Structure 1
Amino acid sequence: MSTATLERPADTTMGFKEIQAFLHAEARALDDREWDTWLGFYHKDCPFWMPAWDDFDTLTEDPANEMSLMYYPNKQGIEDRVFRIKTDRSSATSLPEPRTNHYISGIEVLARDGSEIRLRFNWHTLSYRYAKTDQHWGTSFYTIDTSGPRPLITDKKVILKNDHIHHVIDIYHI
């Protein structure tokens, strides 16, 4: 689904089915490797953070001063990662790119404040590459701004629950 399909009048309240469709469309863009479409889900100031688990099985709390599995302070960092994937300009780029399937469940609306919606949901991603299937799962927390012609993610925090991984984890794995 292209981001154009998600456009709607700015004064329309985003219901649960629209939220669900939005999350599934973002996941589908990753699965289909539609990088530009996927980037269209993000606000220019959106931080994208995956904290690490410390030695005491506690998540880190400060991406500037503690270890993170992934951290981009805004969309520019996400765009740079996508550029590197698309142009093979990264030692971490997986070639061939893995085939993925994202599954989303347990969507909860945590809060609504005007045009801002805070969400929590669980995810499970299967990834296939070199005749081997890997899986990753966790919980994501999004803040979505619905004030414009289409919803945009303004904050993304991803908790990877199975963090003992045997290869580099990338944006398409989560």
Structure 2
Amino acid sequence: MTTETLERTGTSPAMNYEAIQAFLFAEARALDDRDWDTWLTFYHADCPFWMPAWDDYDTLTEDPQNEMSLMYYPNKQGIEDRVFRIKTDRSSATSLPEPRTCHYLSGIEVLSRQGTEIKLRFNWHTLSFRYGKTDQHWGTSFYMIDASGPKPLIIDKKVVLKNDLIHHVIDVYHI
């Protein structure tokens, strides 16, 4: 979402709720459309992308450096590497053909605002179809967005997968 788009819709670069919602929907649409290059533009270079695991006591792990994670990229370079592997079929975890997905977002909450940084929480449900079978994944995401530039950027992303008993490898497009 550009500043021009924000101004045209009557919002400020600091982002109102409608602009935040549009930003999140656009990110989900890029995943559903498999538009990897566009999807990457939503992330700041230093953005960690973390999906903690549930431990034996049904508690989320807290330290991606020292505890099990379902997914962890310390910055955008890791996310870019994952996209490269998806696009070039250079990963044993890549699903071929790629699943068709549909992301649903709900319960979008602005938890806090500090200047141009916005902390969000929202629920998501993703349906994915592959080989005649539909799978579903759901959870809660926590984002920190920096709205100071010409386009808002995700500067921190934590995804909590609620249905963590899954029968195949989970990938960025499932969440």
TM range (shorter): over 0.9
Report % sequence identity. Answer: 80
Where in structure 2 are there 5+ consecutive unaligned residues? 7-11
- One-letter identity of the residue aligned with 1:76: Q
Residue 57 of structure 2: SS of its match in structure 1? Answer: coil
Aligned to 2:136: 135
Residue 139 of structure 1: SS of its match in structure 2? Answer: strand
State the superposition RMSD in angstroms: 1.0
Cα distance in 2 for residues equivalent to 1:110 and 1:150: 20
- One-letter identity of the residue aligned with 1:69: L
TM-score (norm 2): 0.95
Where in structure 1 are there 5+ consecutive unaligned residues? 1-5
Cα distance in 1 for residues equivalent to 2:19 and 2:32: 20
Aligned to 1:154: 155
Aligned to 2:125: 124
Cα distance in 2 for residues equivalent to 1:13 and 1:62: 31
- Give how far 1:156 is off: 0.1
Residue 137 of structure 1: SS of its match in structure 2? Answer: strand
Q: Where do 1:19-168 residues align within 5 Å?
A: 19-168=20-169
- One-letter identity of the residue aligned with 1:94: S
Cα distance in 1 for residues equivalent to 2:54 and 2:94: 24
Residue 20 of structure 1: SS of its match in structure 2? Answer: helix
Deviation digits for residues 27-74 of structure 1, max 9, x if unmatched? 000000000000000000000000000000000000000000000000
Q: Would you say the 8 A contact 2:105–2:123 is kept in 1?
A: yes
- One-letter identity of the residue aligned with 2:38: T
Deviation digits for residues 98-144 of structure 1, max 9, x if unmatched? 00000000000000000100000000000000000000000000000
